[in-house]
Amino acid sequence: MAHENILVVDDEESICHILSVILAKESYSVDTALTGAAALEKITATQYDLILCDIRMPDMDGISLLKKTIQLHPDQMVIMMTAFGTIESAVEAMRDGAYDYLSKPIKAKEIILHVRKALERKKLFTENIYLREVVQEKFSFNKIIGKSPHIIKIFDTIKKIAPYKSTVLITGESGTGKELIAKAIHYNSNRRNNPFIAVNCGAIPAELLESELFGHVRGSFTGAHTTKRGLFVDAHGGTLFLDEIADIPENSQVKLLRALQEDEIRAVGSNQTVKIDVRIISATEQILENKIKENTFRESLYYRLNVVHIELPPLRKREIDIPLIAQHFITRWCRKNDKAPLAISPSAMESLLNYHWPGNVRELENVIERAVLMADDCTIMKENLPPKLFQKKSDIHISLPDDQFDLKKIHKDVSALVERRLILQALRKSKYNRTHAAKLLNISHRSLLYKIKEYKLECEEEVS
């Protein structure tokens, strides 16, 4: 089913009506304007996939409207129409940015053919934007480095599930490469030539997330000055990657569940549904089962998202992969910085292997980037690595009660104690700027607010 939105501009109401009927039969969404001024107002407020515009109009001729439209939207697709067609007007319209030119009277088959060609051209142009720096190899398995059993098993899973539309839930600590796995699934599927769109659900304010995902119509809420297509429509035919899915607010969870069940969405403020063909891949570092117990995540949505589950292991559990990943990043950062290829000394590699990598692969890349810059000769030495790598796990001390021997309770209490201390330390370092603290902790702002409330750290802030 077509989703394209078309604007017909003609000072003859009968022409607007006839074209609306013809295009509506082809499942296009059609809007009309009887004057150039009215059309310009609509074009300013709404995104159109295609505009059909008459050249001869009393208040503002089609060429003038075309020029103003191209100024607003340089990539706008426009087909000009006229009953006074001449070579000169056709050349002028094409020179000023029109895609095509039609002479009246226009036959139904002719207009449908030209509209389809224009929209296909727009689709190809859009795909080129997405794929300009992306070839299939970029996100094939050779970009996921590793030979550990964990990674080999993930490779096998991706090969099996990539061709299908089933939803995938990717879990793992921050920095383990969840988005890279999502891209590998997309670019090894038959959707590879269509958009891959990623959105961080935790980074968008709750009141705006619904509009971002599903779109909104003009005037649907304060500040909605234009009609906006949502990411679901933008990702039609491709993949939508929902990162930090645990942070999606409850009202958006309901609409997401409906989108998954019915393959259709409804923009905020609209009473019309739109069919969509989108594969959903979601990711989180949180434990969704706990969120369900806390009544902050819908169990029905969890089962819809979790048809296939891929759990990424932390880097500390795949030590065999560290030398391979390190060498991959050394090669990458030497090339980016125009440096000759570097080797890595045994003592430096030993330090990488001994470190516990709380930031996982992302932290390893940062360490290697620094080491490449700091290396003087042809080899990365131990002294080129940051001092934090030389702190052993045994150097971290936590006070425990002398009369407590229950291992399960101690493990739970210690985890909470460490987390509370880290959050408090981040808050103090950021001078209680919660946005900055969330970045230091590498968690979403919403997650930080939840933990501040859980650990009663508002009181700490008040007395500080």
In angstroms and rounded to an integer, the radius of gyration of the C-alpha atoms of the chain is: 28
Res 361 pLDDT > 90:
yes
* 327-354 tens-digit pLDDT: 889 998 999 998 888 999 988 998 998 8
C-beta separation of 418 from 412 below 8 A: no
* 390-400 tens-digit pLDDT: 865 444 444 44
Mean residue pLDDT of the chain comes to 84
416 versus 96: the higher-pLDDT residue is 96
DSSP collapsed to 3 states, the chain: CCCCEEEEECCCHHHHHHHHHHHHHCCCEEEEECCHHHHHHHHHHECCCEEEEECCCCCCCHHHHHHHHHHHCCCCCEEEEECCCCHHHHHHHHHCCCCEEEECCCCHHHHHHHHHHHHHHHHHHHHHHHHCCCCHHHHCHHHCCCCCHHHHHHHHHHHHHCCCCCCEEEECCCCCCHHHHHHHHHHCCCCCCCCEEEEECCCCCHHHHHHHHHEECCCCCCCCCCEEECHHHHCCCCEEEEECHHHCCHHHHHHHHHHHHHCEEECECCCCEEECCCEEEEEECCCHHHHHHCCCCCHHHHHHHCCEEEECCCHHHCHHHHHHHHHHHHHHHHHHCCCCCCEECHHHHHHHHHCCCCCHHHHHHHHHHHHHHHCCCCEECHHHCCHHHHCCHHHCCCCCCCCCCCHHHHHHHHHHHHHHHHHHHHHHHCCCCHHHHHHHHCCCHHHHHHHHHHCCCHHHHHHC
Res 86 pLDDT > 80:
no
Res 133 pLDDT > 50:
no
* 293-337 tens-digit pLDDT: 989 999 999 999 999 999 999 998 888 889 989 988 999 899 999
Average pLDDT value for residue range 38-46: 89
pLDDT at 9 (0 to 100):
94
Complete domains list, the chain, with CATH = 5-131 (3.40.50.2300), 138-311 (3.40.50.300), 318-394 (1.10.8.60), 407-463 (1.10.10)
Cβ neighbours of residue 20 under 8 Å, at least 6 residues apart? Answer: 8, 30, 32
pTM exceeds 0.85: no
